[in-house]
Amino acid sequence: VRPQEFSGEQHLPSSLDNLEILDEGQRTAVRKLLKEFQNLFSTCDADVGRCNMTQHRINTGDHPPIKQYPRRLPLAMKEEADNLVKEMVDNRIIEESSGPWASPIVLVKKKDGSTRFCVDYKKLNEITKKDRYPLPRIDDTLDAFNGSQWFTTLDLKSGYWQVEVRPEDRESPATFEILMETVLRGLSSEACLVYLDDIIIVGRTFEEHLNNLRKVFQRLQKANLKLKPKKCRFFQREVAYLGHVISAEGVKTDPEKIKAVVDCPRPDKIHDLRSFLGLCT
């Protein structure tokens, strides 16, 4: 199934060029399902979902507000930061505030050359009371794939931006894991698994996999969440997930992850050593 087969519906996934293993009837079923749920797929950077099932709480107890001054930016980056802020305000991702809390922004270049707008919340995180909700054990997650023949991976569009912060607050990972487990609650590990915003749908047959994908789409649609089309992979025999390559033959370490460790330069500073140890764990 190739992009042009979707009658110009450009917001549908563009990653449908590896489905030659499907027969025409199966391709038709996939096309029909994706068109039915086309509103799940983000149409542009500004098209971010707004989850209707939870709001994120920042519990700082009785600690006084922390107000940090902005860091200096080169003129060119300042203009870019202003444009990014305006874009987020216009799209109702953020709103203006005159509150007593403030943290500095950080602009990070992505691999594709675009800029990621980040905020350094280190000081805020230090005083925030942590939510102890556990993340799934990756090895337990991988064990659940036994017997699966078909795989689909879904990626939420700017997942954390789709969860509103409580108005009175206006430890993120725990909130998101709770949300996703709530959204997909009732679906067994034989249908799908989730780790933060990484979702994988499995199936032993094409029909079972198609049905499982429909169930996940229905849950995401009900929660008003959006997917990033370019990062979704549908009806694959082999997928990369959580640093591993998953297929009907089993689970193996992703060669790209091994290459990153092997090619990593020898650390000669404490900071570099810590980064290397973080990469290896």
CATH code of the domain covering residue 91: 3.10.10.10
The arithmetic mean of pLDDT across residues 184-199, rounded, is 84
What mean pLDDT, rounded, does the chain reach? 78
pLDDT tens per residue, range 159-174: 666 666 655 554 455 6
Are both 44 and 150 inside the same structural domain? yes
Token reading at 84: 């990014």
Q: Are strands 150-155 and 233-236 parallel, antiparallel or unpaired?
A: antiparallel
pLDDT at residue 213, rounded to an integer: 94
Determine, yes or no, domain membership for 258. no
245 or 254: which leads in pLDDT: 245
Residues 99 and 237 in one domain: no
Q: SS3 for 25-87, per residue?
A: HHHHHHHHHHHHCHHHECCCCCCCCCCCCCEECCCCCCCCCCECCCCCCCHHHHHHHHHHHHH
pLDDT at residue 218, as a whole number: 94
One domain, residues 37 and 138 = yes
Residue 120 included in any domain: yes
Does residue 213 fall inside a structural domain?
yes
The more confident residue out of 110 and 57 is 110
The pLDDT of residue 1: 32
**pLDDT for 215:** 94
In the predicted model, is pLDDT for residue 240 greater than 80? yes
Residue 207: is its pLDDT beyond 90?
yes
Q: Specify whether 118 is located in the same domain as 163.
A: no
Of 102 and 130, which is predicted with more confidence? 102
Do 41 and 168 lie in one domain? The reply is: yes
152 domain residue, yes or no: yes
Domain-embedded: residue 276:
no
Q: Are residues 83 and 160 in the same domain?
A: no
- Alpha-carbon distance 234 to 153, whole Å? 7
> Both 237 and 184 in a single domain?
yes
What pTM was computed for the model?
0.64
Whether 229 and 192 map to the same domain: the answer is yes
Collect all residues with Cβ–Cβ distance below 8 Å to 202 and sequence separation of at least 6.
145, 148, 150, 151, 152, 190, 191, 192, 193, 209, 212
- Domain assignment present for residue 194? The answer is yes
Most confident option among 25-39, 56-70, 107-121, 122-136: 25-39
Establish if 43 belongs to a structural domain: yes
In the chain, the number of structural domains is 2
My answer on whether 154 and 185 are in the same domain is yes
Res. 248: pLDDT tops 70: yes
The pLDDT score that the predictor gives to residue 3 is: 32
Domain stops at, among 95, 127, 159: 127
The pairing of strands 55-56 and 164-165 is parallel
Percent of the chain predicted with pLDDT > 90: 10
Report yes or no: 42 and 76 within 8 Å, Cβ to Cβ.
no
Point out the least confidently predicted range of 11-20, 42-51, 77-86: 11-20
Is residue 113 one of the residues assigned to a domain? Answer: yes
33's tokens = 């399902």
Q: Which domain holds residue 205?
A: 21-55+134-248
On whether both 71 and 176 belong to a single domain, the answer is no
User: Do 95 and 149 belong to one domain?
Assistant: no
Output the pLDDT for position 173. Answer: 56
Query: What pLDDT, on the 0 to 100 scale, is given for residue 168?
Result: 55
Above 90 in pLDDT, residue 119? no
Query: What pLDDT does 210 receive?
Result: 94
Residue 259 has pLDDT above 50, yes or no: yes
pLDDT, mean of residues 244-263: 81
Domain CATH code at residue 191: 3.30.70.270
Question: What pLDDT does 160 receive?
Answer: 65
Are residue 73 and residue 50 in the same domain, yes or no? no
